[in-house]
Amino acid sequence: MDYYSSHISKLIEEFSRLPGIGSKSAARLAFHIINMSGEQVAALTGAITSAKENVRYCRECYTLTDEELCPICRSAKRDHKTIMVVENTRDLAAYEKTGQYDGVYHVLHGAISPMLGIGPNDIKLKELIERLKGDIDEVIVSTNSSLEGETTAVYISKLIRPMGIKVTRIASGVPVGGDLEYIDSVTLLKALEGRVLMK
Ligand code: ZN
């Protein structure tokens, strides 16, 4: 389908692979890039390359960060005995935006999904259990309210409760199947305040 240029077709093909980008959006982006100045294109490709090369997992909480320890794990102002478990760094950012949570996080980078063949070993769960050998008061499970998020929450609770650590689950109020990152701060805080002990 090289109606115009094999280079443009290739660009459209690459953009189409990105999440949420259909073929029309991919074409729009590709033509936009062709019309950008050389400097603008260099800035864009440079940002992509350097993000890929420099972003890594925090040694403690596994969020994506530029340094060995993320700013949250480095901070003495945070309560390091309260760990909120989230599915991804975007969910962490959603809670950080509320400005009201002063504990630390653990980022799983996914959720258990038997349907997609994602098991406990495919997410950062062993790493969480390892952290719990320290002095921890509470684990707040803030995975999404999707089937995968709930499955993960139950799995985590069963794993952690025998260790004698308090495990809580954020309250409903978070719409079913809702991605945490799209929910407003007020709803997030209500869900956090109304968290319940997991059985
Ligand atoms: Zn961290």
> What tens digit of pLDDT does each residue of 31-67 get?
999 999 999 999 999 999 999 999 999 999 999 999 9
The secondary structure of residue 37, as a DSSP letter, is: -
CA of 136 to the centre of ligand 1 (A): 15
CA of 155 to the centre of ligand 1 (A): 23
Strand partners, 139: 83, 167
Surrounding residues of ion ligand 1, Cβ less than 5 A: 58, 60-61, 70, 73
Query: Is residue 142 within a helix (H) or strand (E), and if so which, with residue range?
Result: none
The phi-psi region of residue 20 (left if phi > 0; otherwise alpha if psi is between -120 and 50; otherwise beta) is: left
Q: How far is CA 158 from the centre of its chain?
A: 22
Give the predicted TM-score (pTM) of the model: 0.79
Cβ(57)–Cβ(65) below 8 Å: yes
CA of 109 to the centre of ligand 1 (A): 13
Cβ(86)–Cβ(183) below 8 Å: no
Residue pLDDT, tens place only, 60-71: 999 999 999 999
